[in-house]
Amino acid sequence: MALPKHSFTAWLILNNALMLKDQLAHIQISQDDLCCLCQLATEIHKHLIEECHFSKSLLQGTGLWLESDIDQKNALIAIARKRWSAIRKKLCIAAVLACWYMVWMQRNGARIHGSVTRPELVVQQIRSMIVSRFHECKPRVVCPKDRIWLCKVHLI
Ligand SMILES: [Zn+2]
For residue 102, report the distance from its CA to the centre of ligand 1, in Å: 14
Q: What is the reported pLDDT for 29?
A: 87
Q: Is 38 left (phi over 0), alpha (psi -120 to 50) or beta?
A: alpha
For residue 153, report the distance from its CA to the centre of ligand 1, in Å: 29
Domain ranges of the chain: 4-16+53-152
For residue 135, report the distance from its CA to the centre of ligand 1, in Å: 33
Q: Give the pTM.
A: 0.94
Question: What is the rounded CA–CA span in Å between residue 97 and residue 108?
Answer: 17
For residue 148, report the distance from its CA to the centre of ligand 1, in Å: 36
SS3 of 4-68: HHHHHHHHHHHCCCCCCHHHHHHCCCCCCCECCCCCCCECCHHHHHHHCHHHHHHHHHHHHHHCC
For residue 82, report the distance from its CA to the centre of ligand 1, in Å: 28
Amino acid symbol at 22: D
- Residues with pLDDT less than 70, the chain: none
For residue 42, report the distance from its CA to the centre of ligand 1, in Å: 8
Q: What is the reported pLDDT for 131?
A: 95
Q: What is the reported pLDDT for 16?
A: 95
Q: What is the reported pLDDT for 54?
A: 97
Q: What is the reported pLDDT for 50?
A: 93
Q: What is the reported pLDDT for 156?
A: 87
